[in-house]
Structures are given as C-alpha cells and as structure tokens.
C-alpha cells in the first residue's frame, strides 16, 4: 500500500480563500514599500522638509507593531471572517483618507488607521488558512500566498516612483481602493467565520503597557533632532517607554493570561534570537527608507529611476532563498550569523562611498549584494529564533517575534531620520550628502553590537 503523501496540491475549493489572503498580503507588502520613493514629492506638496517626513513611515509601521498582539484574540473571539473583513474595510478607508489628505497631521492620522488594518490582514488571513485548509495542502497554499508577499515589495518602489512622476503622490494610497473592494466582495464567499468555543479574557493592561513602551521609545528617538520640541521632551518619551517595558516584563512574569509570558525567554536560543533580531533589523530595515531618500534628495535622481534602482535589492533577496538552507547546514547558525552580520554591517556602511557620480552598474551590484545578504540574515535569524520553541509556546513566540520585527523597523526608520537631521544640523545644509554618509556608517556599526549577541549562540547548535 502506498503511503499518503505529506504534501498535496491545493484543491480548487480552497483557491479563492488563498486568493483573498494573497490580496491582503499584497496590499500590506505594497504599502510598506511604495511610500519610500514618494516621500520627497509628498514633502513638497505638503510644504514639509523631506528629511522630517520619516514620521509617515514610522506611523504606519508602529501601529502595525502595536496591533499584532490583538489579531489572534480578535479572530478567536469574533471569527476570522468578521475580523478579516473589518481589517480590509479599515485599511481601504484609511487608504482613501491618506489619498485625500491635505496636511501632514491628517496623513499621519490615516496612516495610523491604515497600520491598524494592515496589522490584522496577514496574521488573520494566515490563521484562516490554517483553520480551514487541510494540513496536507497547507504548504501549497502558503507557497502561493508568499508570491503575493514577494510581488508587493518588488513592485512598490518602482510603482511609487512611476505614480509620483506621472500622476501625484496621492495615487500611491488610492491604488489600494480597487484591491480593497475586490477583497470585500470575496471575503463572504471564500472565508468561513471560524471562531473558538472558549477564548481567554484579553490582557488589556499588558496590551496598554506594550503600546506605551513601543510608542515611547520610537517617538522619543524620532523627536530627538526635532527643532519644534525640546530635548527634555524626547528624553521624557524614551523614559516613559523604558518604564512601560520594565512594567510589562514584571506583568509577563506574574500574570497567567499575559499576552507574552516570560517563560518563553527561559529558552536561551529564543532569547538570543529575539534580541539579535531587534538590533540586526535597526540598520537593515532602515535602508528601504534611507536609500531612496538619499538618491532623490542628495543625488538628485527622479522618483522612477530611484524605484528602478531598488529592484536589485528585492532580486538579491529572491536569489538568496534557495541557498540559505544549504549554507546553514554547511556552516551552522552561529558561524553564518556571526559572519553575515558583519558583512551586512559592512555593506550598509559601504553605501557611504556612493556619490552622484558613481556608475549605475556599480549601484545596481551594490543593491543586489545588500538584498542577498539582508535576506540571508533575516531568514537565518527567524529560523534560529523559533526552531526550538515547544509547541505550546510556538504561536505566542511567533507573534512576539513578528511584533519585535515591526518595532525594530519603526525604531530603525526613526533613528535613521534622526541621525540624518542631527548630522545635517552639525555640518550645515551644504553638506547634506555627508550627513547621509555618516548616518550609513552609524547604522552599519550597530551590526557590531549584533555580532556580539550572536556570539552567545552555543557552538554546536543543531540545524
């Protein structure tokens, strides 16, 4: 008798569900990257300094990070279909609001709402697939869905540059409307409203502490170089964030239904992976924001050309996928992460050698290498972090990792923007390129700290 295959092709009755989740994944991936090439044009339209507009990116990413802990509980309590439908509605209406904004404050408010919708799209969609699609077909479903996650970031910078040049920056948000309407139409046909019979009481106090911690630290760093607010205000925000983080650490240790229990950190590999993820992503996740800004503001390139130059980064990431597992199996997690962390840091810092006269083919190669190394770093870190977690901690551990990834991105973008502004204030507007170059060196140097963290990985950690 032939054994039943472990993985099967996706059956037709589940394809519409996968398409629906892919739409959400695509919208979220597109919106994370499409804004980066449009920032200078947005700044001109809104009468703002482009170097101060990192708040548009931070507002979205920070609200995504803050709402990730809500996603699983809402889906269990109100059903995956109701939660997913609400997420699409929020995301689509917020996109409309962003597209119609006439001031920075309006835009920031709608970006926060957009982030709330975006935070629910991918986790709830993935949860719906997990609950509805048989495990034997789940790998096929995830493979199809992941294509949408790759296409979104691949298209984002170039599409954003094209829209800015040929229409206006408002269309980088309005483009979400037809996709959102399509998602709304498919939701009730494709996704059953699966709920859990018993749902724990939501840890509201822990959630509030986490939000205060994330917002305080990120906004404190973002406001550090602000001319409108005093240094005392920035330091106060960071202090509030640190106190809230410490209070949550106590809360996680003492409360039985805490969102993320402290017992997860008894697993040494998980603890190293979380801390390493946080520091390694500060520089790596700031680059998709910082490089398009430098290419346009300091190099004088057009938005479309800037977007095209970002494509090799995504291609490098795609090329790395098949080689990651063989490299880890050959050299082990510790050696790969130690060496690659230093290579990523060196690659980030080496962008300081780029000038407006650097040949395009060198820039293309540089972006490609960065994308390859950065992808190798992220996949290795994520796999290491989760690989030894017990089954009962896997869901909570994965959610906490997702939250840390987004928090690190928001802090990284805020840090990059703050450093550019600080160095420009020191050197003067005539030396804008130098401000970008020194910022890149600083972001690359952070990886030296990360290498010290990965040095703690046991030498014989199994693959």
pLDDT in tens, 1-53: 444 445 566 677 778 888 888 888 888 778 778 888 888 889 888 888 888 88
Per-residue b/e over 283-320, b at no fewer than 16 CB within 10 Å?
bbbbbbbbbbbbbbbbbebebbbbbbbbbbbbebbeeb
Model pTM score: 0.87
User: Identical fold at 14-194 and 261-463?
Assistant: yes
Residue-level pLDDT, tens digit, the chain, 463 residues: 444 445 566 677 778 888 888 888 888 778 778 888 888 889 888 888 888 888 888 899 899 988 888 887 888 888 888 988 999 999 999 999 999 998 989 999 999 999 999 888 878 887 787 777 776 777 677 767 777 767 777 788 888 889 888 888 999 999 989 988 988 888 888 888 877 777 778 888 999 999 999 999 998 888 876 666 777 888 899 999 999 999 999 998 888 888 888 888 888 888 899 999 999 999 988 998 899 999 999 998 998 899 899 889 988 988 888 888 888 888 888 899 999 999 999 999 999 999 999 999 999 999 999 999 998 998 888 888 877 777 667 677 878 888 888 899 999 999 999 999 889 888 887 788 999 999 999 999 998 889 999 998 887 776 6
- The CA-to-CA distance between both ends of the chain, in Å, stands at 33
d(CA 8, CA 54): 45
Question: Is the domain 261-463 a CATH 1.20.1250.20 member?
Answer: yes
- Mention the CATH class of domain 14-194: mainly alpha
d(CA 187, CA 17): 8
Q: According to the 3-state scheme, what is the secondary structure of 318-334? A: HHHHHHHHHHHHHHHHH
Domain ranges in the chain are 14-194, 204-258, 261-463
pLDDT in tens, 237-287: 999 999 999 999 999 888 888 888 888 888 888 889 999 999 999 998 899
């Amino acid at each position: 008798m032939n054994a039943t295959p472990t993985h099967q092709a996706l059956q037709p009755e589940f394809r519409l569900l996968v398409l629906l989740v892919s739409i959400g994944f695509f919208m979220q991936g597109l919106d994370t990257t499409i804004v980066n090439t449009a920032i200078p044009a947005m700044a001109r339209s809104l009468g703002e300094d482009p170097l101060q507009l990192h708040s548009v990116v931070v507002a979205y990413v920070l609200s995504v990070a803050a709402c990730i802990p809500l996603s699983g509980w809402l889906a269990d309590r109100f059903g995956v279909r109701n939660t997913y439908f609400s997420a699409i509605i929020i995301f689509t209406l917020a996109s409309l609001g962003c597209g119609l904004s006439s001031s920075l404050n309006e835009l920031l408010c709608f970006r926060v709402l957009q982030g709330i919708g975006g935070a629910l799209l991918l986790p709830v969609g993935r949860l719906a697939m997990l609950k509805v699609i048989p495990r034997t077909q789940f790998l096929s479903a995830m493979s199809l869905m992941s294509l949408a996650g790759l296409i979104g970031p691949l298209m984002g910078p170039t599409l954003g540059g094209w829209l800015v040049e040929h229409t206006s920056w408002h269309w980088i948000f309005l483009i979400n409307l037809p996709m959102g309407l399509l998602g709304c139409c498919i939701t009730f046909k494709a996704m059953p409203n699966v709920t859990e019979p018993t749902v724990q009481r939501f840890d509201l106090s822990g959630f509030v502490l986490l939000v205060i911690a994330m917002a305080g630290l990120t906004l404190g760093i973002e406001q550090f170089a602000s001319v409108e607010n005093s240094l005392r205000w920035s330091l106060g925000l960071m202090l509030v964030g640190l106190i809230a983080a410490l209070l949550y650490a106590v809360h996680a240790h003492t409360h039985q239904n805490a969102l993320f229990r402290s017992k997860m950190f008894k697993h040494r590999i998980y603890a190293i992976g979380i801390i390493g993820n946080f520091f390694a992503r500060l520089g790596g996740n700031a680059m998709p924001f910082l490089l398009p800004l430098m290419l346009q503001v300091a190099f004088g390139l057009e938005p479309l050309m800037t977007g095209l130059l970002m494509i090799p980064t995504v291609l490098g990431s795609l090329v790395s996928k098949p080689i990651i597992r063989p490299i880890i199996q050959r050299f082990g997690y510790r050696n790969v992460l130690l060496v690659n962390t230093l290579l990523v840091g060196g690659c980030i810092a080496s962008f300081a050698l780029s000038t407006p006269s650097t040949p395009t083919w060198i820039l293309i190669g540089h972006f490609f290498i960065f994308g390859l190394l950065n992808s190798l770093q992220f996949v290795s870190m994520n796999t290491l972090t989760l690989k030894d977690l017990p089954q009962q901690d896997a869901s909570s551990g994965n959610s906490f990792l997702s939250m840390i990834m987004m928090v690190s991105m928001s802090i990284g973008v805020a840090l990059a923007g703050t450093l550019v502004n600080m160095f420009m204030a020191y050197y003067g507007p005539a030396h804008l390129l130098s401000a970008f170059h020194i910022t890149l060196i600083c972001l690359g140097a952070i990886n030296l700290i990360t290498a010290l963290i990965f040095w703690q990985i046991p030498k014989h950690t199994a693959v």
